Structure 1
Amino acid sequence: MKKNRTLFIILIIIFNIALDQISKFWIRANVTPGSQSEILGDYFTLHNVENSGAFLGLGSDFSPILKIVLLNVLPIIVLTLVLFHIFRDKTLDKFSLIGFCCIIGGGIANLYDRVVYGHVTDFWHIDLGGVFRTGIFNLADVSVMVGMGLLILGNFSKKKA
Structure 2
Amino acid sequence: MATKKIFPTKSSASLTPWLCIAALVILIDQLTKITITKTFQLGEEKAITSFFNLVLAYNKGAAFSFLSNSGGWQRYFFTGIGIVAAIFIVYLLKKNGSQRMFAWALSLILGGALGNVIDRLLYGHVVDFLDFYWRGLGHFPAFNVADSAICVGAGLFILDELRRVNK
Give TM-score scaled by structure 1 length. Answer: 0.88
Aligned to 1:106: 112
2:14–2:97 Cα contact (<8 Å) kept: no
SS at match of 1:134: coil
Segments of structure 1 that go 5 or more residues without pairing to the other structure are: none
The 5-angstrom pairing of residues 18-97 of structure 1 reads 18-41=27-50, 43-64=51-72, 66-90=73-97, 93-97=99-103
- Between structures 1 and 2, the one with greater helix share: 1
Change (3 A) 1:130 1:94: farther
| 1:22 alignment partner AA | L
Aligned to 2:152: 146
CA distance in 1, matches of 2:92, 2:145: 24
CA distance in 1, matches of 2:161, 2:138: 26
CA distance in 1, matches of 2:58, 2:75: 17
1:131 shift after superposition = 6.4
Give TM-score scaled by structure 2 length. Answer: 0.85
Aligned to 2:5: none
Q: Bigger radius of gyration, 1 or 2?
A: 2
How many equivalent pairs are there? 158
1:94–1:154 Cα contact (<8 Å) kept: no
SS at match of 2:15: helix
% identical aligned pairs: 24
CA distance in 2, matches of 1:99, 1:133: 27
Change (3 A) 1:150 1:132: farther
1:13–1:105 Cα contact (<8 Å) kept: yes
